[in-house]
Structure 1
């Protein structure tokens, strides 16, 4: 069972987090956090898109707004 956990450790340390090793040795804070800023911008754009879609469905009155959502309630 320990080889299973060592395999998970190897996957994360040597494969998934390998790009972060490059950014660790940079001197600039802005350059070091480039990936985090990219994730933030992508997440913010996705949130704006999602809110726009919710507004479209709300304006069309397509949502069932009854008090109880299930018959057994």
Structure 2
């Protein structure tokens, strides 16, 4: 069993963690490049947030969302909602 777990360790260190080891080498050699990778990830996240907010505004502008306080059955009975069903 020891050989099996050492094989798993070798596979994880050599293959699965290779990208992390490469980033560690980049960080040691060039600080600006390592932080550039972080900025790229932050820009991707910012773009996703802007897209999400634009989609929310689009659905809000259509005014198709049912905003009654008792829109869900588990919150209580709503006579208007039940009459439409």
TM-score, length-normalised on structure 2?
0.62
- Work out whether 1:24 is the aligned partner of 2:24: no
**What do residues 13-66 of structure 1 show as CA deviations (whole Å, max 9, x unaligned)?**
33x413313312224x32221111100001001111110110010010122211
Distance in 2 (alpha carbons) for counterparts of 1:62 and 1:18: 50
RMSD (CA atoms): 2.8
**Structure ID, larger Rg:** 2
| Counterpart position of 2:79 | none
Equivalent in the alignment of 2:81: none
Unaligned ranges ≥5, structure 2: 76-85
Please report how far the alpha carbon of residue 70 of structure 1 lies from its aligned counterpart in structure 2 after TM superposition: 1.9
Instruction: Note the residue ranges of structure 1 that are not aligned, 5 or more in a row.
Output: none
Structure showing the higher helix proportion among its residues? 2
C-alpha separation in 2, matches of 1:56 and 1:23: 42
Could you tell me how far apart the structure 2 residues matched to 1:8 and 1:70 are?
50
